Amino acid sequence: QKEVEQDPGPLSVPEGAIVSLNCTYSNSAFQYFMWYRQYSRKGPELLMYTYSSGNKEDGRFTAQVDKSSKYISLFIRDSQPSDSATYLCASHFPNTDKLIFGTGTRLQVFP
């Protein structure tokens, strides 16, 4: 079992839709969770960073962590074609600075 699992997609939605991207993780010691966005032929860029359980909102993006079920989500409201990218979830190995990534979900928002 991979430590961070993510459905690779692709996920195709119309402009304006609410998008839900999800990951599960297996290591209960994980505490910090991140979502990165990666455009084609670019490096990933940090989108959201959360600690432990709860929600964090930033504009159209909401990150949610449920530690009881080891489930992390990213919601995108009013999705735009410019949101088309691969979204990677990640967490820190406990007591290290090493990140472990999911495989990424490719999202396409069509006009």
> Residues interacting with another protein, by CB under 8 A?
4, 6, 8, 32, 34, 41-46, 49, 88, 90, 96-104
Comparison of 75 and 101: residue with beta carbon closer to another protein: 101
Compute the least distance from the CB of residue 35 to another protein, in Å. Answer: 12
Compute the least distance from the CB of residue 103 to another protein, in Å. Answer: 4
Compute the least distance from the CB of residue 8 to another protein, in Å. Answer: 7
Compute the least distance from the CB of residue 16 to another protein, in Å. Answer: 29
Comparison of 44 and 79: residue with beta carbon closer to another protein: 44
- CA nearest to 83, candidates 34, 12, 22: 12
Comparison of 18 and 93: residue with beta carbon closer to another protein: 93
Q: Which residues of 68-103 are buried (b: 16+ CB within 10 A; e: fewer)?
A: eebebbbbbeebeeebbbbbbbbbbeeeeeeebbbb
Q: Indicate the SS3 state at residue 82.
A: helix
Distance, in Å, from the CA atom of 15 to the CA atom of 83, rounded to the nearest integer, reads 9
Residue found by looking up tokens 């909401």 in the block: 62
